[in-house]
Amino acid sequence: MNARPFLALLAVLLSTTLASAQSERPIPDEGALGELVVTGHVKEHVTTLAILPSLVPDLEDVIVRSVVRRDMELSGMFDVIPDSRAPEGTYGFDDPVDVGAWRKIGAEVIVKVAARKRRAGKIEVLGLAYFLNIGKDPVYEKKLLVDESEVRVTAHRVTDALLGAITGTPGGFASQFTYSGKWGRNRRVFTMDSDGAELEPRTKETDTSIAPTWGPNGTLFYARSRDYSPFILMKRENRVHYRVKLPIKGSVFSIAFNSDYSKLALAISNGEGSSVWVGDADGGNPTKVSTTAVATHPVFSPSGKLAWIGGEPYSFGAQRVYVDGKAVSPPGFTAAAPAFCDTEDGIRLVYSVGVGGNREDLVMSGESGGGIVRLTQNQGTNTYPACSVDGRLLAFFSTRKNKDGPGLYMMSLKRWVTNRVSGAYGESLRWAPLPPPPKSARP
Amino acid sequence: MMNVAPRRPLPSGYVGAAVAPFTDFEIVVAVAGAFVIQVVFFVTLAVVTNRARIEEVREPEKKVIPISVKPVIDETKLLKLGGKKKVKYKLPDMWKKKPPVRRQKAGSAPSPQAKDDPNEIPKSELSDAAPPPDAEIAKEVDDLQPDASEPDAEATVEGEGAPDGVEEGTETDPLKARAVGEYTRKILGWFNARWSPPGTGAPCAELKSLRASMSVTIGGDRQVTGYAVVAPSGNPTFDAKVRATMDSIVGQQLPPPPKLYPDILGTTQSVTFAGTRAPCEESAQEAQEAQEPQQPQEETP
Distances in whole angstroms, Cα of residue A327 to Cα of each of A43, A93, A320, B175: 36, 56, 6, 43
Number of structural domains chain A divides into: 2
CA distances to A142, A299, A346, B83, B134 from A173, in Å: 18, 21, 20, 54, 45
- Measured CA to CA, the distance from residue A230 to residue A208 in angstroms comes to 10
Return all residues near A233 (Cβ < 8 A) that are at least 6 apart.
A221, A223, A243, A244, A246, A252, A255, A266, A283
Subunit contact A344:B255, Cβ cutoff 8 A: yes
CA distances from B201 to B230, B275, B290 (A): 21, 12, 19
DSSP A351: E
In the prediction, which pLDDT does A89 show? 83
By three-state DSSP, how is residue B41 classified? helix
Question: Would the CB atoms of B255 and A346 count as touching at under 8 Å?
Answer: yes
Collapsing DSSP to helix, strand or coil, B37 comes out as helix
DSSP secondary structure, A146-171, as one string: EEGGGHHHHHHHHHHHHHHHHHSS--
What is the model's pLDDT at position B14? Answer: 62
Same domain, A145 and A213: no
CB-count exposure of residue A130 (10 Å: 0-12, 13-18, 19+): buried
What is the pLDDT confidence band of residue B295, given thresholds at 50, 70 and 90?
very low
Q: Which among A30, A131, A377 is the nearest to B178, CB-wise?
A: A131
Q: Residue A264's beta-bridge partner residues? A: A257, A279
With CA atoms as reference, the chain B residue closest to A303 would be B221
Per-residue pLDDT tens digits for A131-160: 988 778 889 998 888 998 899 999 999 999
Q: Is B93 on the interface with A (CB under 8 A)?
A: yes
CB contacts < 8 A (A, B): 163
Strands B103-105 and B136-138: parallel
Residues A64 and A152 in one domain: yes
Residue A15 within a domain: no
Q: Identify whether residues A73 and A115 lie together within a single domain.
A: yes
Q: Which of residues 394-423 of A touch B (CB under 8 A)?
A: 416
- Tell me the C-alpha distance between A157 and A426, whole Å: 27
Which of A135, A167, A199 is a domain's end point? A167
Least confident residue range of A3-12, A200-209, B176-185, B231-240: A3-12
Angle between helices A151-167 and A59-75 (to 10 degrees): 40
A39-68 burial, b if ≥16 CB within 10 A, otherwise e?
bbeeeeeebbbbbbbbebeeebbebbbbbb
Q: Compute the distance between CA of residue A402 and CA of residue A11 in angstroms, rounded to an integer.
A: 82
A296 and A336 Cβ atoms separated by less than 8 Å:
no
Contacts of B291 (CB under 8 A, 6+ apart): B123
Q: Do the Cβ atoms of B267 and A31 come within 8 Å?
A: yes
For the beta sheet containing B268-274, the strands, ordered from the edge strand earlier in sequence to the opposite edge, are A36-38, B268-274, B211-218, B224-231
Distance from the Cα of A205 to chain B's closest Cα (Å) equals 39
**Cα(A141)–Cα(A161) distance, integer angstroms:** 10
Q: For residue A40, is it within any domain?
A: no
pLDDT digits (tens, 9 = 90+) for A38-55: 887 777 788 999 999 988
Residue A174 has phi, psi (to 5 degrees) of -80, 70
The answer, for A140 touching chain B at a CB cutoff of 8 Å, is yes
Residues A88 and A207 in one domain: no
Q: B189: helix, coil or strand?
A: helix
- Size of chain A in residues: 443
Question: What is the pLDDT, as a whole number, of residue A422?
Answer: 93
Check: CB of residue B126 under 8 Å from CB of residue B109.
yes
Pick from B91, B176, B194 the residue to mutate for testing the A interface (most A CBs within 10 Å). Answer: B91
Same domain, A62 and A202: no
Question: Is A411 a member of any domain?
Answer: yes
Chain A residues within 8 A of B276 when measuring between CB atoms:
39, 41
Whole-angstrom CA distances from B135 to A126, B115, B123 are: 47, 22, 19
Q: Do A169 and B191 touch (CB under 8 A)?
A: no
Give me the amino acid identity at B130: A
CA angle A23, A26, A31 (to 5 degrees): 135
Model ipTM?
0.77
The whole domain housing A275 covers 175-436
Do A275 and A384 have their domain in common?
yes
Summarize the confidence of residues B8-14 as an average pLDDT: 66
Residues of A in contact with B174 (CB under 8 A): 131, 134, 139
Q: Would you tell me the crossing angle of helices A151-167 and B174-192 to the nearest 10 degrees?
A: 60
Rg (CA), chain A: 27
Strand partners, A36: B271
A77 and A93 fall within a common domain? yes
CATH code: domain of residue A139: 3.40.50.10070
C-alpha to C-alpha distance for A408 and A285, rounded to whole angstroms? 36
Picking from A116, A135, A167, the residue at the C-terminal end of a domain is: A167
Could B89 and A332 be called an inter-chain contact, meaning their C-beta atoms sit closer than 8 Å?
Answer: yes
Q: Which of B145, B150, B271 sits opposite A38 (nearest CB)?
A: B271
Q: What is the CATH number of the domain that holds A269?
A: 2.120.10.30
- Based on the fold, state whether residues A205 and A344 are members of the same structural domain: yes
Task: State the pLDDT at residue A313.
Answer: 74
Task: For residue B255, list chain A residues with Cβ-Cβ distance below 8 A.
Answer: 344-346
Record: contact B183-A39, CB cut-off 8 A: no
Q: Note whether B82 contacts A: Cβ–Cβ < 8 A.
A: no
CA-nearest residue of chain A to B192? Answer: A40
Alpha helices in A388-434 (DSSP H): none
Cα-based distances in Å from B230 to A65, B122, B215, B274 = 52, 44, 6, 14
What's the confidence (pLDDT) of residue A246?
A: 93
Q: For chain A (length 443 residues), average pLDDT per consecutive 10?
A: 56 48 50 79 84 88 93 91 88 86 91 89 90 85 89 93 92 95 94 93 95 93 94 93 92 94 93 90 92 92 93 76 92 92 92 90 90 91 95 95 89 89 94 83 68
- Decide if B154 touches A, using CB distance below 8 A: no
Residue with the bigger pLDDT between A423 and B299: it is A423
Instruction: Give a yes or no: residue A149 inside a domain.
Output: yes
CB spacing of A33 vs B264 below 8 angstroms = yes
In this structure, the number of other CB atoms found within 10 A of the CB of residue A9 comes to 10
Q: How far apart are CA B145 and CA B154, in angstroms?
A: 23
Q: Are residues A267 and A391 in the same domain?
A: yes
**Residue B276 near chain A (CB below 8 Å):** yes
pTM: 0.72
The candidate with the shortest Cα–Cα distance to B218, out of B255, B181, B186, is B255
Interface of B with A in 215-254 (CB under 8 A): 215, 253
In a domain, A18, yes or no: no
Nearest chain B residue to A379, by CA: B94
pLDDT one-digit tens code per residue, B67-110 = 887 777 666 677 777 777 777 777 788 877 666 666 666 667 67
Same domain as A309, residue A189? yes
How big is the CA angle at A33 (ends A28 and A38), to the nearest 5 degrees? Answer: 105
- Give the pLDDT score at B291: 56
The answer to whether A333 and B91 are in contact (CB under 8 A) is: yes
Whether residue A195 sits in one domain with residue A117: no
Give the Cα separation of A116 and A60 in Å (integer): 6
Tell me how far apart the alpha carbons of residues B210 and A39 are, in angstroms, rounded to a whole number. Answer: 11
The string of DSSP codes covering A196-239 is S-S-EE-S-TTSEEEEEEE-GGG-EEEEEESTTPPPEEEEEETT
- A332, part of any domain: yes
**Residue A327 domain-assigned?**
yes
Domain boundary pick from A117, A133, A167 = A167
pLDDT of residue B13 exceeding 70, the answer is no
Q: Among residues A127, A137, A133, which one has the least CA distance to residue A160?
A: A127
Residue A424 and residue A308 in one domain: yes
pLDDT score for A245: 93
The answer to whether residue B162 neighbours chain A at the CB level (below 8 Å) is: yes
Residues of chain B with C-beta less than 8 angstroms from the C-beta of A390: 259
- A5: in domain: no
3-state secondary structure of B32: helix
Cα gap B183→B134, rounded to integer Å:
37
Facing residues of A278 across strands?
A: A265, A287
Please, how many CA atoms are within 13 Å of residue A371, restricted to the half-sphere of its CB?
A: 10
Residue A42 sits at the chain B interface (C-beta within 8 Å): yes
> Which of the 8 DSSP states describes residue B298?
S
Q: Is the pLDDT of residue B64 over 90?
A: no
The reported pLDDT for the residue numbered A442 is 67
A38, A106, A167 ranked by CB distance to B179: nearest: A167
- The enclosing H or E element of A371 equals none
Mean pLDDT of B213-217: 91
Nearest alpha carbon to residue B279 among B248, B223, B241: B241
